[in-house]
Amino acid sequence: MPSPRSQPERGSAQPAFITALAPRADTSFVIDAAGQIAERLMTWTMLDTDGELRRWLPTWRADGGDARRFRRGIGTRFPGDEAGAWRYSEAVLLPLRPAVRYLARALLVHPKHIPYAVVAALVEPSLSG
């Protein structure tokens, strides 16, 4: 599992977006694929075969830059293998669904900024067991 970057210093102006929890630089493409994978999970449209995935990947473009960052980010780890990078992203993210669900429920109850330490405490139990 990728390790999150250290939290921003207290009082910093850095926004607490998902990119603040991005994995190491060589796997940052996983975060770029995360939104698209989440949408596909939500709509039950996951691409089951590699053929389907290879046909779809070139059409993934206009999404605010995630596709561009994904393609740029796979460089050294998956050179020229978008499908392999995508399958890796799925393998990293799918086991995290229970933790994401738990955190999403916490945000429904408390729809404001949640400090990193609180997020870590919320998701740690679901990651460890």
Over the chain (129 residues), the average pLDDT of each successive run of 10 is: 41 42 68 88 89 94 84 89 94 87 82 80 69
Residue 49 structural domain: 18-128
Determine if the pTM surpasses 0.85: no
pLDDT at residue 27, rounded to an integer? 81
Helices (H) and strands (E) in the chain, counts: 6, 0
26 inside domain = yes
Crossing angle for the helix pair 66-73 and 82-93, to the nearest 10 degrees: 100
Nearest to 107 by CA among 37, 51, 99, 67: 99
55 inside domain = yes
pLDDT at residue 55, rounded to an integer? 94
- The secondary structure element, H or E, covering residue 31 is helix 29-42
pLDDT at residue 28, rounded to an integer? 84
Integer-rounded Cα Rg, in Å, for the chain is 16
57 inside domain = yes
What's the domain count of the chain? 1
1 inside domain = no
